[in-house]
Structure 1
Amino acid sequence: MATGNSQQRIDIRKVETEALEWFLLHSERELGDSEQFAFDTWMSQLHNRASYQRLQQIDRSLAAIAATEEGARLRQRSGFAGVWATLNNYFGIAPISGFAFACTLMLAVGVAYLAPWHGEPAPRSYASELAQVRTVILEDGSQVTLGGDSAIETDFSGERRHVKLLRGQAFFAVAKDASRPFLVNAQGTEIRVVGTRFDVNAGSRLNPEVKVTVEEGIVDVARSPVQPEDTAPKVRLTAGQQVRVDARQLSRISTVENTEVASWRQGKFSYRDAPLSEVVADANRYRKDRIIIGTRELEKLRVTTAFTADQADTLVAMLEQSLPVRVFKEPDGRVVIWPGTVE
């Protein structure tokens, strides 16, 4: 009996260790094809998926804590002891108990959200929950509206205003200040403005394109240079214009109806000849059970559709009716889209 219990503990530790490794790898970069296949296979096991999803929830919660007044106080005065105490209050986890092995390491990494800073002003983090639209006012008076399951980090100094879109989508209404340019970085794309209104979608693993759309003013968009001396191509957008940026290039400038710029703020989503991967990635930020695209070919399937936030749960049925796909719901609630035929 003792041998059986020991083996069970070792198995749990192995699962938690693997979950942490996959989580950190996802945070660092996009997975290659073979890695993605290995990850999907690993995630098909219920106990693996449960461990991974808990790390995701901890990460979202850490970002949310950091964005509160309590998070700011922790950064200013309490040090790591106070951080650990706060994490224990939120999660019921101490460094030597609970989700002991992988989770403790995860929190040790995540404590950077709340670690105290000295000298330079501490970066601030803001996050939204799944299906939540949240508006925050930055220290310069600029306003940022976060879409579902989105996060930003701000770093304002005397000479610049810098925001990193960590994930998801955000609409910026920037306070004018000619002496302090406002920079937004999203997945290697740099957006530079002085005062304007624009939307940025950071893309996803399935659709690694950054999409920038301008409602008002002028916005410069470029790939971030690999080396400081590099000169990257850039485009200048004005009201009603949009550009997509991937790892290789900037797309041609397209036009967008003013009423469609960041219409997600009113719970409306519309797509014209967009890849299915983009539609699914957006919908997944507004529904509890994730939609999975079964094949690489389907990710590129072009879609013209529209739905509202409260229709995110029924989107897959709408897609099945209009596209050559079949939809399967798994026991854990996930929905998988496979190639099929329209009757």
Structure 2
Amino acid sequence: MNDDLSSREAGTGSSEAAGAWCIRMAGAPLDPAEQADFDAWLAADAAHPPAFERALAVWGGLHAMEADAEVIAMRAEALEAMREANAKRWTRGAPRRGWRWAMVAAACLLLALTIAFFPGRGGPVEYATGLGERRTFVLSDGSRLSLDAETRVAVDLADDRRMLHLLAGRAKFDVEKDAARPFSVTAGGRTVVATGTAFSVELLGDKLHVILYEGSVAVVRGEPPSAPRLLALKRTPGKDAIALVPGRELVAPVKAPVAPTIVEADVARSLAWEGGQLSFVDEPLSAVAERLNRYSRAKVTIGDARAAAIEINGVFNAGDTDAFLDAAQMAYPLEVRREGGAVILASRPR
């Protein structure tokens, strides 16, 4: 196990180690070696899982206050201290005890300032990513929440239900089983009900996309129903619900009262964004531009309806908008115009 995250060394306690793990997970998903270290740390002591859950609750609470400039500044300072301490691990001749304690101190600072500014606040907690940012969160119930760039999700974990709202962007949900607490995600006028399931939900233009990877979900119109109704939907979807099976995708208009369509999903392609790539197969340029813009300050706008309807194919690195524009001009009847800070992709004159 990594020395810096072991509560067995240098007298560090479960809470400090749990805080360090929270900070590590906030930066990026764990790689396989780190995941093995984390699993070993959880299993090493019965006190570690509850300590980690407490740290998650405190860390998660901070996201409800991300608009507070003072909290943002202190959070950034604590994270930077953690990164600097971690970097010193690899400095030749640096005392091992020093950097270990620096990391623990940074974790304690972050947890302490969070507690000071978040004294038991209730209600939904909002998790969000910025431009070009992808993040994975572990919720206090053990479920994992993976956010694409420029995504916002409100999370409300109650005693009898787990209610989430996708407010913008795209997110993948790996749901921890809990038969007594149904898990639902509401977006675009519909609610997805699941348990012990892996699925993604995306708001793209005027459409809602739901892809099921494992387990089963039921999709109903409107806001989340009552807890008993959610439990009933989980057992038997009923005629007013649409049941999905793994490998299928539901596409529904957000505003128009039109029945959704169910299509076969390209599972591997739909998850490419988690690895920093954007993969398109017969994707309208209008939708492609919206996904590109989650990763670039130079926003691409579509110049005309004919260009918007062109179907795009290809795999591109997220954030490399210039490479996409070059390829689009070569492969399709499109041209790029730059007007001030705007990038306009339009049909090439006939």
Equivalent residue number for residue 193 of structure 1: 194
Match of residue 304, structure 1, among 300, 313, 335: 313
3-state SS of the aligned residue for 2:268? helix
Stretches of structure 2 that go unaligned for 5 or more consecutive residues are 1-57, 76-116, 227-237
Report the alpha carbon displacement of residue 226 of structure 1 after superposing the two structures with TM: 11
- Amino acid of the structure 2 residue aligned with 1:336: I
1:320 has 2:318 as partner: no
Runs of 4+, deviation exceeding 3 Å: 66-72, 82-90, 115-118, 225-228, 231-234, 310-313
Q: Is the 8 A contact 2:191 2:223 kept in 1?
A: no
CA deviation vs aligned residue, 1:101-150 (integer Å, no higher than 9, x gap):
xxxxxxxxxxxxxx9898x8321111112111100111211001111111
Separation of aligned partners in 1, 2:310 and 2:345: 12
- Amino acid of the structure 2 residue aligned with 1:212: V
Q: Is the 8 A contact 2:135 2:146 kept in 1?
A: yes
| 1:319–1:124 distance in 2 versus 1, CA, 3 Å | same
Equivalent residue number for residue 266 of structure 2: 257
Q: Normalising to structure 1: TM-score of the pair?
A: 0.61
1:166 has 2:159 as partner: no
Q: Is the 8 A contact 2:63 2:125 kept in 1?
A: no
3-state SS of the aligned residue for 2:320? helix
CA deviation vs aligned residue, 1:229-251 (integer Å, no higher than 9, x gap):
xx995421111111111123343
| 1:301–1:137 distance in 2 versus 1, CA, 3 Å | same
Aligned identity (percent) is 26
Report the alpha carbon displacement of residue 325 of structure 1 after superposing the two structures with TM: 1.9
Report the alpha carbon displacement of residue 336 of structure 1 after superposing the two structures with TM: 0.5
Q: Is the 8 A contact 1:143 1:173 kept in 2?
A: yes
Q: Is the 8 A contact 2:215 2:246 kept in 1?
A: yes
1:236 has 2:247 as partner: no
| 1:232–1:167 distance in 2 versus 1, CA, 3 Å | farther
Equivalent residue number for residue 137 of structure 1: 138
Q: Is the 8 A contact 1:289 1:335 kept in 2?
A: yes
Q: Is the 8 A contact 2:172 2:201 kept in 1?
A: yes
CA deviation vs aligned residue, 1:218-276 (integer Å, no higher than 9, x gap):
12223326999xx9954211111111111233433211233223221012222222221
Q: Is the 8 A contact 1:287 1:313 kept in 2?
A: no
- Amino acid of the structure 1 residue aligned with 2:215: G
Stretches of structure 1 that go unaligned for 5 or more consecutive residues are 1-65, 76-81, 91-114
- Amino acid of the structure 1 residue aligned with 2:163: H
Separation of aligned partners in 2, 1:85 and 1:310: 29
Equivalent residue number for residue 337 of structure 1: 345
Equivalent residue number for residue 102 of structure 1: none
Separation of aligned partners in 2, 1:170 and 1:277: 20
- Amino acid of the structure 1 residue aligned with 2:347: P
Separation of aligned partners in 2, 1:226 and 1:176: 19
| 1:264–1:83 distance in 2 versus 1, CA, 3 Å | closer
Separation of aligned partners in 1, 2:72 and 2:274: 32
Separation of aligned partners in 2, 1:270 and 1:84: 36
Q: Is the 8 A contact 1:199 1:262 kept in 2?
A: no
Equivalent residue number for residue 98 of structure 1: none
Instruction: Give the structure with higher Rg (CA).
Output: 2
Separation of aligned partners in 2, 1:243 and 1:128: 24
Q: Is the 8 A contact 1:133 1:146 kept in 2?
A: yes
Q: Is the 8 A contact 2:300 2:344 kept in 1?
A: yes
- Amino acid of the structure 2 residue aligned with 1:337: L
Report the alpha carbon displacement of residue 287 of structure 1 after superposing the two structures with TM: 1.3
Report the alpha carbon displacement of residue 187 of structure 1 after superposing the two structures with TM: 2.1
3-state SS of the aligned residue for 1:202? strand
Separation of aligned partners in 1, 2:133 and 2:69: 27
Report the alpha carbon displacement of residue 69 of structure 1 after superposing the two structures with TM: 5.2
Separation of aligned partners in 2, 1:261 and 1:67: 29
Q: Is the 8 A contact 2:191 2:224 kept in 1?
A: no
| 1:71–1:284 distance in 2 versus 1, CA, 3 Å | closer
Q: Is the 8 A contact 2:184 2:194 kept in 1?
A: yes
Paired residues in the alignment total 242
Equivalent residue number for residue 268 of structure 1: 277
Separation of aligned partners in 1, 2:167 and 2:249: 20
CA deviation vs aligned residue, 1:160-204 (integer Å, no higher than 9, x gap):
10111111111110101121111111121211101211111111x
Equivalent residue number for residue 33 of structure 2: none
Alignment of 1:1-40 (within 5 A): none
